[in-house]
Amino acid sequence: MVRAACDLVAVARAAVAEALAAGGWSRSEPELVADLRETLALRAQVDALLLTQVAEVDSRGVAGRRACPSTRAWLRTAHRIAPGEASRLVNTSVQLRDELPAVAAALHAGEMSLGQAQVCVDALADLPSATPVAKRPQAEATMIEAARSFDPVLLARIGRRLAEIIDPEGVQARDEQPITDKEADAHRSRDLTLTPNSGGAGGTLRAKLDAVGYATLSAFLAAVTTPGATPDGEGADPAAGDTRTLGQRRCDGLVEAVRQALAAGALPSAGGVKPRIVVTIPYTSLKSRTGAGRLADGTLISPSLTRRLADDAEIVPVWLSPTGIPLDVG
């Protein structure tokens, strides 16, 4: 005749009470180690029995007949179990019964702790919906094998990588497509606008870069934003007393790099003419180093800025009519 579960549990409780009464003071160190190993296995088996009973209580609707809305609520009110723990017990018990028989068997055999079993439940529940059904037994076996070597914390780390462990090609394909789409969107929407200030004296640069462009510019700006740094690496001493803000250093570094590229003459020509900054200034003002200049778009620049540009400029004489029409160049 099969003995009732409550009778068997009563026998087990009596045995545990006897072990408690005996204490551990008389046990040798090897015996204590063996005792602990067996006690932990017993604990896992008791947890497995508890989960089996919780799943049965839940499937029969016992809580409803005791005026409780759910098994979770009944565990709280009748057995003083914390809300979070009650939810975990019900969820784990149902998952082990319905979805994860191999994990349940490992717990029943005392080969896995309740904490490890709950990690397995979470990891397998979190597998992407696109994971092939045929891969799920492999996923369960992978977690059971890992539980032989790792505690719940480390086991959870493996669980977070479970999809790529059992289905690396599928994960790569799923992960790559959204990234590829974002990169393509960024490339299509790349843009740069250069808008002069309404009152002259400078303008505003706005750019939207793709992934490679952003990485390239970021690497360049990181190199030229050290206090005192220049694009050729000169003066990159943090103690140089550079008081510019980060934004100012980025701006200066970018402009200086463009200036050097213009000066090197390596840029492609536009309409047969190499790109350059064009400043127009009367000859008398140039000779006396006084007077303002005017950029190609008509923006007026200060005499001091005009002089700085003239120090490193190619001078092209242009004779103009009284109305500003070029009469002779060179």
**Extents of the domains making up the chain:** 5-175, 190-271, 277-330
Position 8 pLDDT exceeds 90: no
Contacts of 41 (CB under 8 A, 6+ apart): 110, 111
Position 319 pLDDT exceeds 80: no
Q: What percent of the residues of the chain are helix, what percent strand, and what percent coil, each to the nearest 5?
A: 60, 10, 30
Question: Which residues partner with 63 through β-bridges?
Answer: none
Predicted pLDDT of residue 267 = 67
Q: At what angle do helices 29-60 and 114-125 cross, to 10 degrees?
A: 50
Per-residue tokens: 56: 């049965």
- pLDDT tens digits, residue range 170-195? 877 777 777 778 888 989 999 999 99
Report if pTM > 0.85: no
Predicted pLDDT of residue 236 = 47
- pLDDT tens digits, residue range 109-126? 999 999 999 999 999 999
Cβ count within 10 A of residue 272: 5
Phi, psi of 28 (to 5 degrees): -75, 170
What number of CA atoms fall less than 13 Å from residue 50's CA on the CB side?
Answer: 18
Position 312 pLDDT exceeds 60: yes
- pLDDT tens digits, residue range 62-104? 999 999 999 999 999 999 999 999 999 999 999 999 999 999 9
